[in-house]
Structure 1
């Protein structure tokens, strides 16, 4: 393979990473060193079912893609063996799934991440993992406003019936 072919392949890989980063609502950088093949397969399966893509790329290529997108501060988490979970549906699912899996696979750890235009350290990404999914939050909110509204409807109905009588 000639030098120009190698550079072309690298440029294509950086473009691929960049496109995934642009599309994702969150990135979770993970130190996967020490987990076995069975654990890795189980993790990938769980992530795939939840529309989270899990990839290993060369750190230099991820750094270059991040720089092209104007993302600063991510490179500090791109040292050693790092995999990336690209969360496409929402901001919390990828972090939540990785954090939950890390409870069983002690060697797996979140190094940092990128959500909503900001780079976060491991501690903040683990806090993000504790936030319920958007659907759960909306359900709780609707449940909290449903009760007073149904009481209001009941009361207005009672007033209307008493005026009719």
Structure 2
């Protein structure tokens, strides 16, 4: 192999290593059997959520994972591998790929990385079942509003009772 080809592959490994290090979460999937239209739709959905999906050779992924200090991913780097990197939302790639896989049975999650730790298929699926960030924030807001709402109801009930007694 020429030195130029080796240098190019090394730069790709370094780029993918940086993506592993910077990512909040990574989902690795087998996309064998998806049509071009399905892959395009999946990429579109991921892009809209700020997630980058790439198809990278397994040997490069394996070297990049080792360089990033992620041990135990070698067994998932077999067959056609699509990898989704999310730098912001930890849940987004798992949720989108899991929902897409429920419609397109050919798509299969093989594993991933959550906040720098290697995650199994079960952990990625559990992450996919979590509510979105907006959903979690609305749940938190309703929990925080409940005591204030209860006080308001109590004050209104006292005011209504006083009004009835005065009448």
Q: TM-score, normalised by structure 2?
A: 0.87
Spell out structure 1 runs of 4+ moving beyond 6 A: 156-159
Cα distance in 2 for partners of 1:154, 1:121 equals 47
Larger Rg over CA atoms = 2
Question: Any residues of structure 2 matched to 1:1-165 within 5 Å, and which?
Answer: 3-152=2-151
Structure 1 residue runs of 5 or longer lacking an equivalent are none
Aligned residue for 2:111, secondary structure, equals: strand
**Superposition CA RMSD, Å:** 1.9
Residues 133-142 or 36-45, more deviating: 133-142
**Paired positions, count:** 159
Aligned residue for 2:95, secondary structure, equals: helix
Cα distance, 1:156 vs. partner?
7.5
Cα distance in 2 for partners of 1:103, 1:134 equals 21
Q: What CA deviation, in whole Å up to 9, does each residue of 1:69-114 have, x standing for no partner?
A: 1111111111111110112221111000000001111000100010
Q: TM-score, normalised by structure 1?
A: 0.88
Aligned residue for 1:95, secondary structure, equals: helix
